[in-house]
Chains A and B, each alone.
Chain A
């Protein structure tokens, strides 16, 4: 796909050159070299400088703040994704983080793997072999290997919490060793071919287990299934539900309640869950339904929530750290003792920055917070 196709496809020619995108961009704020407006302009003007060669193609966090404010409704993350797809086809790529470990795992998962990654679930709660509801665990078992010893961070607290919560509302979900990564990161790395392979493998697997409903805790998995799987999978025909919508309904109908806890927390909206999937109230309602927990909002919250600084295991830089530190300082300024986030990656990214900061703040997985407040826990 050439540049003019990308411009036509994303209607980037409607750009008014107003600069709201660049003014809203968390990357531009720290790195003025990066500007969504300029990148669109370069593509429109067909300048000699080829945007596909530009390192900044890989700097966008696809947080979507720009698009939400764009008066012409240009889908800038989609524009960047298409540029990346083309750049990837030409052998270009961003700088992978964590030794490209996660991309390697994802590409291996496109093959005929026989994985063993559900042991944790048998210890943490009750699961079923077949049934209506599938729980899409996501990549946490792999994150756990990378971060458990190095950062003393237990990435499995999230999935364990989810399973306890699902059990508490009477669901014994199906989970599977053969589940692949949802493909979100490869897609944002421009590797659409392998993204499509993962997507098809996952949908095929879930259907073969006889499940009709898929419950997600991971915002990326949820949004990718919802928004991007239909691009590469025909007749998905699965009911996609985010855990917090499901739990919030149970709290409303009083079939789920929490016991007294204490603490002042603030909620960090993951880009995928908040701004992009529009799930803003359910997580807040759930936190507020825990007696004794005080929820304080940070300066940037809900649709205006700040990004956690990195995306798709790529382009992690001093700019990422700056964004993360700003975010953590907002949490401290809000008077919170704990920053709670619903995204396993936001948790990792922000925890990384916290290691270099001297502030009195904890970071907790939302599902862990809720599971610890369960009546029967």
Chain B
């Protein structure tokens, strides 16, 4: 995990795109909340700089 973060930093990918949470199988609500929150964070960051695609004309 630390290595991945470090390599993302070197490659210029925002570290906020990587997150690890431990969620028990019984914590359904928490799972949903964490995924929703993380999705919002990523949405704010925009598209991953490494997957820039040419827009179709």
Using a CB–CB distance below 8 Å, which chain A residues touch chain B? 101, 105, 108-109, 111-117, 141-142, 145-146, 149, 177
Contacts and interface: CB of A to CB of B under 8 A. Distances in A.
B52 A112 contact: yes
Contacts of A105: 7, 11
B13 to A, nearest CB: 8
A101 B10 CA distance: 14
12 contacts: A105-B7, A108-B50, A111-B52, A112-B50, A113-B11, A113-B12, A113-B49, A114-B12, A115-B12, A116-B10, A142-B10, A149-B2
Given A112-B52, A113-B49, A142 B12 contact: no
Given A108-B50, A111-B50, A116 B12 contact: yes
Contacts of B50: 108, 111-113
B49 A145 contact: no
Given A112-B49, A113-B49, A113-B50, A145 B6 contact: yes
A109 B49 CA distance: 12
Nearest to A109: B11
Contacts of A116: 9-10, 12
Nearest to B9: A116
B19 interface: no
B20 interface: no
Nearest to A145: B6
A116 B8 CA distance: 9
Contacts of B7: 101, 105, 142, 145
Contacts, number: 35
Contacts of A113: 11-12, 49-50
A360 B23 CA distance: 48
B10 A141 contact: yes
Contacts of A115: 10-12
B3 interface: yes
Contacts of B52: 111-112
B22 to A, nearest CB: 22
Contacts of A101: 7
Q: Which 10 pairs show the lowest CB-CB distances between chains A and B?
A: A114-B12, A145-B6, A117-B10, A115-B12, A111-B50, A145-B3, A113-B12, A113-B11, A145-B7, A115-B11
B11 A108 contact: yes
Contacts of B3: 145-146
B29 to A, nearest CB: 34
Interface in B26-57: 49-52
Given A113-B11, A116-B12, A177-B12, 4 more contacts: A111-B51, A112-B50, A113-B49, A113-B50
Contacts of B10: 115-117, 141-142, 145
B8 to A, nearest CB: 10
A127 B50 CA distance: 28
Contacts of B49: 112-114
**Residue of B7, B10, B49, B51 contacting most chain A CB atoms (<10 Å):** B10
